[in-house]
């Protein structure tokens, strides 16, 4: 199983951020409350998490398959 944790880039732009917190909590939050944890980036640096209203349909998979041109950069969160 490949979780592809980290920041997902395509053509030099951030398109997704995958963390264990989001992978575990988002399916529960979506189903029970219709919300999700989102990542806030400023100047390509992770700043914080934010709770958002979920826009269906959402990705609800442990695995994340990278498409051509995508790459993962594992980053430490700002603390």
Cβ-based neighbours of 38, under 8 Å, separated by 6 or more: 49, 50, 51, 52
- pTM, full prediction: 0.64
**Residues contacting residue 44 through CB under 8 Å, at least 6 positions apart:** 14
Domain borders along the chain are 6-59
Q: What is the pLDDT along the chain (79 residues), one digit of tens a residue?
A: 678 888 888 888 888 888 999 989 998 998 889 899 999 999 888 899 999 997 655 555 556 677 787 777 766 544 3
Q: Are 51 and 39 in contact (CB under 8 A)?
A: no
CA pair distance 29, 70, nearest whole angstrom: 27
């Amino acid at each position: 199983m490949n979780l592809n944790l980290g920041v997902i880039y395509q053509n030099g732009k951030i398109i997704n951020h995958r963390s264990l917190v989001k992978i575990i909590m988002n399916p529960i939050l979506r189903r029970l409350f219709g919300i999700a944890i989102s990542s806030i980036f400023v100047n390509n640096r992770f700043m914080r998490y934010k709770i958002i209203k979920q826009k269906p349909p959402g990705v609800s998979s442990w695995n994340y398959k990278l498409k051509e041109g995508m790459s993962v950069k594992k980053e430490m969160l700002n603390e």
